[in-house]
Amino acid sequence: MLRVFQQDLADPEQFVVTLELVPGNESAGRTVDTVKGIARDCFADGRISAVSITDNPGGNPSLSPDAFGFEIFKVGMDAIVHFTCRDLNRVGMESRALQLARLGMKNLLTLTGDFTGKGFGGQGAPVFDLDSVNLTLMLRLLNERLAASGDPDGFFTGCAVSPFKATQAECFAQYAKLCRKVTAGAQFAITQLGYDAGKFAEVLRILDSMNLRLPVLGSVYILTPRAAALMNAGRIPGAVVTDELLKTVQKEWRDPKQGRKRSIERAAKLGAVLKGLGYRGIHIGGVHRDFALAGEVLDRISEYEADWKELCSEFQYPQPNGFYAFSEGGAGGVSVKQAFNHADQTISLKEKWLYRLLKRLHSWFFSAESRHKGRFQHWSRSIEDHSLLLKLVDGLETGTKKIILGCRHCGDCGIQHLAFLCPESQCPKHTRNGACGGSYNGNCEVRPERRCVWTRAYERFASDGKLNEFHAQCVPPRMWELDQTSSWLNFHLGRDHHSASASLAQACRQSACRNISE
């Protein structure tokens, strides 16, 4: 079977190039023919290891990357299929993975995904049954099943990382989640898009500080004024184009010929910088009409390679008051001084009081190390056998947690993983393993008027010196069979994710990252 991308990535002498394709929202026609033509030209050119195919970008319906990717795969071009958690529950995702395995398409980029957009009759219902960490873990465990059934080629699973964040909390949350993705089974990573050499360098330094050996591809985009404006407005979650860069691009494109030339040069220079920094390759986006643009970028990269350190100065578009984990200076703006300083993290008196209260109550009543564990188990069995007591406890739990946490009575509580904040009521994507890539200045991607729950969790954990909780181990998915039951009783009776999903938790614990909070 075709395994060009995986082989190229394993070759330390190879600087890997992938190219992103966006199939469009039709099953046939000019757009599909154009994108398929780009894939054919990629194959003929010989410098592209694989094309990646998006999965309903923006949450809007598009041609399936599985069907389209298989057509490309059959003509000899290796493909990376984007696999998001937005549209399918865990049953559908497992079925889709088995289908892809059957088709021989095993390069997968696991993503939580953009929030749901509009389809037939209006906005679709967001699923987000799993997050990208649990999807990665699912694929890793599926590999064991495939091997047992006689298929020696498992999934080659990648993940995304969004380093272009303005706040310390968001940066730490992204890197901690990257740790969880790698320990769950991710074998390569692709960055989100930005134009800040310091941030690109930061990713590699953080991986080194966590003692992780992971090949990373840096995103390179051929910017047009329209694409730059969308990114500047936050319409493409995680991608960052600052006001200064937007003005520069708009000025360049007053003369379209000059604008095209400058966009190609910018992409080629960034590719050279990424190669110099130590990236294993680049991931090219913004090619929608023909392969010529990407070809010109690749032609020009070699012209700039020797001057990559000087070129770093052309990629200094920091976000206003943006946070850096490392100080500037040194070769290409890279220094070894780590700057994650959590000592100055403060939270309001109300937040501190509530966090400490819930933490104390949790340690008393819902800890595996509690000296009263046996007694609580006995009481829980007695309560479950008595219908009146069961209703009383259930009502007490629901009412109390509704007021304090906005509880949705999921029956499988995960608040301890988010510094005693609720992932079901306070995160539109219900993530239990870390922030998605779409937050902006500490606010939620879906509800910008609300602070991201993971930013709040970071501040609580940081104030308590417990940031290792962000990447200590991955958190198994919610157990839907417990919905609308008592999470208190489920914990003590060994039915929630702490016990019933112990095999998943054990898989997470097989490896761990070095603590980046120290």
Chain segment 235-261, per-residue pLDDT in tens: 999 999 999 999 999 999 999 999 999
Q: What is the mean pLDDT of residues 371-376?
A: 83
- From residue 105, alpha-carbon distances to 93, 110, 410 in Å are 15, 14, 36
pLDDT in tens, 422-472: 999 999 999 999 999 999 999 999 999 999 999 999 999 998 888 888 877
At 109 the three-state DSSP class reads: strand
pLDDT in tens, 465-517: 888 888 777 889 999 999 999 999 999 999 998 887 767 767 776 666 766 66
Could you tell me the fold of the domain covering 4-333?
Answer: TIM Barrel (3.20.20)
pLDDT in tens, 296-355: 999 999 999 999 999 999 999 999 888 888 876 434 444 434 445 555 567 888 889 999
> How high is the pLDDT of residue 29?
73
DSSP state of 89: -
Per-residue pLDDT at 376 exceeds 80: yes
pLDDT band per the 50, 70, 90 thresholds, residue 3: confident
% the chain with pLDDT above 90: 71
Instruction: Kindly report, as residue ranges, where domains of CATH 3.20.20.220 are found in the chain.
Output: 4-333
Q: How far apart are the first and last CA of the chain?
A: 44
Per-residue pLDDT at 271 exceeds 90: yes
At 33 the three-state DSSP class reads: helix
Contacts 24+ apart (CB under 8 A), 293-299: 293/222, 293/264, 294/19, 294/42, 294/48, 294/222, 295/41, 295/45, 296/264, 296/268, 297/220, 297/222, 297/264, 297/267, 297/268, 297/271, 298/17, 298/45, 298/47, 298/268, 298/271, 299/268
> How high is the pLDDT of residue 24?
80
Residue 311: closest CA among 320, 319, 303, 321: 303
pLDDT in tens, 94-111: 999 999 999 999 999 999
Strands (E), 6-105: 16-21, 50-53, 79-84
- From residue 482, alpha-carbon distances to 132, 259, 409, 485, 489 in Å are 22, 57, 9, 6, 11
Per-residue pLDDT at 263 exceeds 60: yes
Average pLDDT, the chain: 90
Cα angle vertex 107, ends 105, 112, to 5°? 115
% the chain with pLDDT above 70: 93
